[in-house]
């Protein structure tokens, strides 16, 4: 019934399915579950990969990471006042698939860490796997036209027509 992705955050696996057929399964890295507290501002971040159904909302080739406040706090650096000082090239790999609220499925410089829960919430995928299956130029259809249902627990997500739906499952 159409192409969709399932991410098992506990097993760090991404499965590409076409209806009931498994097209490919790859090793990924998901959120660490770590907690960071801002010592000055009283803010707290929990680095989990979101759960529930999501739609691929954007597809970017050669993405630029716009570092959020937590990235500077984590590194013990001052938060820049200029937006341009947040841009970092090359750290998200060759492609990024946006699923909303600042979360992406994207490439990684840290391929040795694939299979481990080490991210700040995004799903890191080896560039070779993205290159073969996620090249934005090879996709058809408008990803922004799909519907997404959010669920507290794992719910089967199916693609409707050309929609691209992502299901994020709780692992064991």
Question: What is the rounded distance in angstroms from the CA atom of residue 41 to the CA atom of residue 39?
Answer: 6
What band does 2 get if pLDDT is binned at 50, 70 and 90? low
Beta bridge partners of 61: 95
User: What average pLDDT does range 62-90 have in this prediction?
Assistant: 92
pLDDT of residue 131: 62
Tell me the residue ranges of DSSP E strands in 2-142: 3-8, 13-18, 21-29, 35-37, 44-46, 52-55, 58-61, 64-66, 87-89, 95-100, 103-106, 123-125
Better pLDDT: 90 or 131: 90
DSSP helix/strand/coil, 92? coil
User: Residue with structure tokens 């829960």?
Assistant: 117
pLDDT for 155 beyond 80: no
Q: What is the pLDDT of residue 58?
A: 83
For the cut 60, the answer to whether the pLDDT of residue 136 exceeds it is: no
pLDDT of 152 reads 23
Distance (Å, whole) CA 134 – CA 118: 22
pLDDT at 38: 92
Average pLDDT taken over every residue of the chain: 75
Residues 6+ positions from 154 with CB-CB distance below 8 Å: 51, 167, 169, 170
Instruction: State the average pLDDT over residues 22-39.
Output: 90
Residue 138 pLDDT class (50, 70, 90 cuts): very low
Arithmetic mean of pLDDT, 4-15: 84
Is 120's pLDDT higher than 90? yes
pLDDT at 172 over 80: no
More confident residue, 27 or 169: 27
């Amino acid at each position: 019934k159409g192409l969709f992705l399932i991410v098992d955050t506990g097993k760090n696996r991404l499965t590409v399915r076409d209806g009931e057929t498994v097209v490919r399964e790859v090793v990924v890295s998901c959120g660490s579950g770590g907690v960071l507290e801002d010592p000055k501002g009283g803010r707290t971040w929990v680095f989990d990969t979101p759960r529930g159904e999501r739609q691929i909302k954007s597809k970017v080739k050669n993405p630029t990471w716009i570092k959020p406040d937590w990235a500077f706090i984590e590194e013990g650096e001052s938060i820049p006042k200029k937006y341009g000082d947040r841009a970092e090239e090359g750290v998200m790999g060759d492609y990024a698939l946006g699923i909303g609220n600042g979360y992406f499925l994207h490439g990684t410089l840290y391929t040795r860490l694939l299979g481990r829960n080490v991210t700040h919430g995004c799903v890191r995928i080896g560039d070779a796997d993205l290159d073969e299956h996620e090249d934005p130029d090879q996709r058809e259809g408008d990803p922004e036209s799909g519907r997404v249902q959010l669920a507290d627990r794992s719910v089967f997500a199916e693609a409707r027509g050309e929609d691209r739906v992502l299901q994020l499952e709780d692992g064991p």
